[in-house]
Structure 1
Amino acid sequence: MGNYTLKTDNVPKELLIILDIIKGNKITTELLIDTDWKLFTQLLIHHRLYPLIYPRLKDYDQSFFPSHILQIISYKYRMNTIEMLKLSGEMIELDSLFTNNEIMSIFLKGPALALEIYGDISLRTSGDLDILVSIDQLESVNVLLCKVGYKKDEYFSTTLDDWKWRHHHLTYYHSEKGIKLEVHWRLNPGPSKEPSFRELWERSSRVSFSGHSIHLLGKEDLFLFLVTHGARHGWSRLRWLVDIHKLINKDVDCPSLINRLKKYDYMRIGGQSIILSNQLLNTSIDKYMTNEIISNCSKKLANEAVFYLERMINLHSEPLPEDVSNFHKKHMFHLLSFRQKLLLILSFLYPYPDDVDVLPLPKRLHFLYFPLRPFLWSWRRVKGLRKQTISS
């Protein structure tokens, strides 16, 4: 990585201590002076790192950390283990359900990822299950899930076919089991280029749960998915970066990985992820990968990501503070390659479901939304401004 150093001056001391523990650095009592233990605990929970920290705390004397902090971490660790066991059982049931109905499925994260790259499901958290299927089998999947008690969250309109590429997953919830499930037909929201389901299936690996074989993305495809997911969320939870750290140490085929990053326009965020992993977690990076993937652009993006580490940001908790919202929008645009930026701009010309709300047309006339798009967009803007004027 040369002489490059990430600018972490404004990152909370408590988060740096957490990172030191994860890296295996010996913590001294002097380092812990004036530690804000409430913030320490909040950061552990926010970044979902408490399962990884808990086993390492056993290397220290019982009196080294405050007893109430150890109790909180111990409790969270036990509860997470129970949750991961519950998700593991549901994952096996869903995989059997789909297999028996000739539906090919690949689990993206959750217990399968934890076992594959951590070697132990208790060392990683997961709030839900994520499964990838072919878009051609979405309707069959929907019917099966509804039969076994899942209910779909209709959070976007399917009136126009734009949902197939603008969005990338549907959300289901099983109220009795308390389990959330995301069914993906793409790895990422569009507009973006990515491998087909068939390619991902043919390259998928398998992980065994109690003798049951679960399909997981192959290592290089998994890296592609994890870096795009983490970057899209600003690496605002360091658990995602630890995933990268663990995966890189799993004998990833570097030439194949780099070819895939180039093919799908993710070189800059691939570089961002390994810089962050190297600088924050001491990840050892293959020299070939460093030479091929690190650029001035990826260094700039890595430093921008520090913004999310200087405070606790939950991007799903809206409304976001104005400064966070403005920064995040700019950072998301910076992550895009020139081709991706062009596709994004062109995508605004494609009709949105809001256009249907403004001017409902029968399906046979939906083609008219394309030439009418600029006028409908302008009309919504005018109506929005009028409402603001009246309310003020």
Structure 2
Amino acid sequence: MHSRLVPLAPLIPEDRLCLLLAQGQLSQSALEEALGLLAGPLQWDLILERAKAHEVYPLVYWNLKNVGFPGVPESARRELESRFRMNALRNSLCAQELAHLLRALHNAGIPAIPLKGLLLAELLYGDITLRVCGDMDILVPRRSVLRAFDLLVTRGYVAQSPRWFLAERRLRNNFECALSRSDGSLEYTIELHWGVLVEAADDDGSMMALWAEAREKNVLGAPAYNLSLEGQLLLLAAHAARHNWQGLKWLVDIHVLCHELCRRQDLAWDRVSILAHKLGWEQLVQWSLSACHQLLDTPLPPGFREELPPARRNLYPAAPTLPTPFESALLFLRLAKRPSEKLRVLLRRLLIPTPADGTICRLPSSLKFLYYVIRPFRLGWTLGSSPRQAGGLRKGRGAFGMRRDEAG
């Protein structure tokens, strides 16, 4: 089968060890292989570099600690421990903040689903300290976006773009808005979502099917809504696709969910297929699971047809690089089923301003009509000059209003 994803080359011992230690609870065979690698000579600077770039150092530290750090130099152990403790403290504070926000949204009558980040750490690893979580993602219904936005502002959060950017037409051309609040040395960042991907539909689109899967549940001790296990898997598949299947952290999330839940026979693959069809994400699921299987030998459902993603990127151990604006737009176009839908998505991306436009170029509300004039020129300039960053999952905004990357 033809694929433009570069096949995984044989890994050097350092990359193989990092890959093994990043997979959560180690199987007996993985443990034996890891111990064998730890018994040999290793370049620990390279292992630390990989763990930091792919944001898997909490799991690397945790697994090394469980086996007693055999063969690990003291300097490497100290650095991993320091990073682990800093991440644990940050995640604990973010968990408290997220719980406060979920309670506030609940009291205001705004349904909310916490996404990725801390929720995944608790769901997949049973410990919020074992995953790097750069921000807090909350999904609300599109009809509740402005109310949720105003609630966050009253709690001290500052938006990166003006409130009027969240008018209905602009909601259709984007799916998230960033707000932040500083508290001493820690900055809390909220990604307020009303969608997961840009879609052709004028209404809530695939989110209607996703909300139908959500059930009321206490999350981090606060009342909220939570997705089914199948919904979590599809959300992770879509998130991995947005980032060209780079970043080991996100692929490991999918791997752990599939492996552990398949082992416990809790995941119904037929329900995954049905929900993927409702969302229109069948291709995303196929690509994401195939990429995970190639890299991590992720278990696949019976009869699954592998098809690697149409991405011109290396998987791990290559350092994560940011998707270009063209790649981001191309993903949305691939998801559109009919030519009319593809045209609608393309015109929206080209002509309708997004919160990113308000972040980069701030104009008074009396001149907001100029954003419609500026946007095509800004996109053209960004497409011609957008640099790719490597060496970690850094913050930023792409030209099409997408976050260029995220640590959630």
Q: TM-score, normalised to structure 2's length?
A: 0.73
Residue 299 of structure 1 deviates from its aligned partner by 2.7
Distance 1:380 1:125, change over 3 A: closer
Specify every segment of 5 or more residues in structure 2 that has no aligned partner in the other structure, as ranges: 386-408
What residue is the counterpart of 1:294 in the other structure? 305
Counterpart-to-counterpart distance in 1, 2:69 and 2:41: 19
Which residue of structure 1 lines up, in the alignment, with residue 149 of structure 2?
142
Percent of aligned pairs sharing the same letter = 23
Alpha-carbon distance between aligned partners in 1 of 2:168 and 2:220, rounded to the nearest angstrom: 41
Secondary structure, counterpart of 1:178 in structure 2? strand
Q: Structure 1 counterpart of 2:294, which letter?
A: Q
Structure 2 residue corresponding to 1:228, chosen from 234, 238, 243: 238
CA offset at residue 205 of structure 1?
4.0
Mapping for residues 1-392 of structure 1, pairs under 5 Å: 7-9=7-9, 13-21=13-21, 22=23, 24=27, 25=30, 26=32, 27=34, 35-154=42-161, 158=165, 161-176=168-183, 178-191=187-200, 197=207, 199-205=209-215, 208=218, 211-248=221-258, 249-250=260-261, 251-287=266-302, 291=303, 293-295=304-306, 298-299=307-308, 301=310, 304=311, 307-315=314-322, 325=324, 329=327, 332-333=330-331, 336-337=334-335, 339=337, 343-350=341-348, 351-353=351-353
Pair 1:109–1:330, CA change in 2 (3 A): closer
- Please report the RMSD computed on the Cα atoms of aligned residues, expressed in angstroms: 4.0
**C-alpha displacement of 1:218:** 1.8
8 A Cα contact 1:169 1:182, kept in partner = yes
CA 1:212 to 1:310, structure 2 compared with 1: closer, same or farther past 3 Å? closer
Deviation at residue 13 of structure 1 after TM alignment: 5.0
Question: Which of 1 and 2 has higher RCO (CA within 8 Å, sep 6+)?
Answer: 2
Q: Secondary structure of the equivalent of 1:7?
A: coil
- The higher radius of gyration belongs to 1
Per-residue CA shift, 1:198-224, capped at 9, x if unaligned? Answer: 543442245545643442222222222
Can you list the C-alpha shifts for 1:194-250, whole angstroms capped at 9, x where unaligned? 755554344224554564344222222222211111111012211111111222233
Distance change in 2, residues 1:207/1:80 (3 Å) = farther
Q: Is the 8 A contact 1:11 1:306 kept in 2?
A: no
CA distance in 2, matches of 1:195, 1:314: 30
Measured in 2, the distance between the counterparts of 1:159 and 1:139 equals 7
- 1:107 partner SS: strand
The answer (yes or no) to whether the contact 1:236–1:309 under 8 Å persists in 2 is yes
Partner AA of 2:156 in structure 1: G
Q: Is the 8 A contact 2:38 2:70 kept in 1?
A: no
Q: CA deviation at 1:380?
A: 5.2
Single out whichever of 139-148 and 256-265 deviates more from structure 2. 256-265
Q: Contact 1:232–1:332 at 8 Å: present in 2 too?
A: no
User: Which 10-residue stretch deviates more, 216-225 or 193-202?
Assistant: 193-202
SS at match of 2:9: coil
Deviation at 1:84, TM superposition (A): 1.2
Secondary structure (helix, strand or coil) at the match of 1:234 reads coil
The DSSP-based 3-state class of the residue aligned with 1:348 is helix
TM-score, with length taken from structure 1 = 0.76
Q: Distance in 2 between matches of 1:119 and 1:310?
A: 26
CA offsets 1:299-321 (integer angstroms, 9 cap, x no match): 354xx475143521242xxxxxx
Alpha-carbon distance, 1:133 to partner: 0.8
